[in-house]
Amino acid sequence: MQEYPIKRGLTKDLDTRIVTELKNCFGVEPEKVGKGYQIKHGALKRLDVVVGKDGKSIIIDTESDLTAADDVIIDTNKRFRKYLDALTGFSTKERVKRAKSVGDEQKA
């Protein structure tokens, strides 16, 4: 399970954007599960997305299909990164940098 911050200004319609971007990036209709949404696609047996407690982040939990072919895994990872970019407003590089700075703060 991983929590990702959302760029300021993109939190207003977060619940709607979760669904829209799941459709755009994975091409599947998400299922409403509890307080969040769930899909199955490619090398993902399960991808759950929930809005964080403060409404300024998303929490994603995944379960991988370990038997998936390499090309399916690569495509799924590409789609997942595209989804995170679109939903959070941060690029992969920016997310890594933020995660490192949070990790450094927690160590101090």
Give the mean pLDDT of 82-106: 83
Higher pLDDT, 97 or 26: 26
Least confident of 31-40, 44-53, 70-79, 96-105: 96-105
pLDDT at 95 (0 to 100): 86
Give the pLDDT of residue 55. Answer: 92
- Give the chain's mean pLDDT: 91
Long-range CB contact pairs, 41-50, < 8 A, 24+: 41/76, 41/79, 42/68, 42/72, 42/73, 42/75, 42/76, 42/79, 43/68, 43/72, 43/73, 43/75, 43/76, 43/77, 44/76, 44/80, 47/80, 49/18, 49/22
- The domain that holds 60 is classified in CATH as 3.30.310.190
Domain that holds residue 27: 2-107
What's the pLDDT at 101? Answer: 75
Count of domains observed in the chain: 1
